[in-house]
Amino acid sequence: MHTPCVDLHAGTAQQAFALDARRPDGAKMQPSSPGRAILFADIRGFTSYTRERGDEQAYRLAKAFTLLSERCVEQHGGRVVKTLGDGIMAAFPRALDSVRCAKEAQEEVARRNAAHPADALTSGIGIAWGTPIEEDGDLFGSVVNLAQRLADRARGGQILISPPRGRAHI
């Protein structure tokens, strides 16, 4: 089954969730459910990198990426749900904040690569909006699965976003 998505590789955060956040009378709309934007981000080619450079170098690269990603999540009002070796899973109450975080993370990766060209990395990011199941601080459900699948499909430097079902709190 084909999952429609928006590629934010060259777009803006506002384009990602191009929803009418106001009613026709101009009043701001409220979210219809306690949904969240779920974001997955990870390093492309990490297994090959580890094989070529060794575990210690791969660990340093993964740590640099997760710290960079965690800072972006925190700065944009999200919560890191968990780290996943060479990536992260995060949740945001506002969809637009997740997109801004993803865009900033990709920009930070590009700046890092310019400063460390011999140790460059690329990352793919996937974002989906929905209402996950929460247990002990972890999140489960179809929205989580979709965000992870989008991240897996994203090429290096790409952000894939699933159009929200219903109204996303932007």
Say which CATH number the domain at 40 has: 3.30.70.1230
Q: Are 99 and 159 in contact (CB under 8 A)?
A: yes
40 is a domain residue: yes
Rounded Cα distance, 60 and 29, in Å: 44
Rounded Cα distance, 4 and 38, in Å: 16
68 is a domain residue: yes
27 is a domain residue: no
Plot region of 162 (φ>0 → left; ψ -120 to 50 → alpha; else → beta)? beta
Mean pLDDT of 97-119: 96
Rounded Cα distance, 31 and 17, in Å: 14
22 is a domain residue: no
21 is a domain residue: no
Question: pTM for the complete prediction?
Answer: 0.80
Phi, psi of 30 (to 5 degrees): -100, 150
123 is a domain residue: yes
Rounded Cα distance, 128 and 95, in Å: 9
pLDDT tens-digit series, residues 11-33: 444 444 444 344 455 554 444 45
Task: Report the pLDDT value the prediction gives residue 34, as an integer from 0 to 100.
Answer: 73
Encode 46-110 in three state secondary structure.
HHHHHHHHCHHHHHHHHHHHHHHHHHHHHHCCCEEEEECCCEEEEEECCHHHHHHHHHHHHHHHH
Residue that is written with structure tokens 């955060």 in the block: 13
127 is a domain residue: yes
Can you give the residue range of the structural domain that contains 126?
A: 34-161
pLDDT above 50 for 10: no
The percent of residues in the chain predicted with pLDDT above 90, rounded, is 74
Count of structural domains, the chain? 1
Position 127 confidence tier, pLDDT thresholds 50, 70, 90: very high
Task: Decide: helix, strand or coil at residue 124.
Answer: strand
Q: Are 88 and 66 in contact (CB under 8 A)?
A: yes
60 is a domain residue: yes
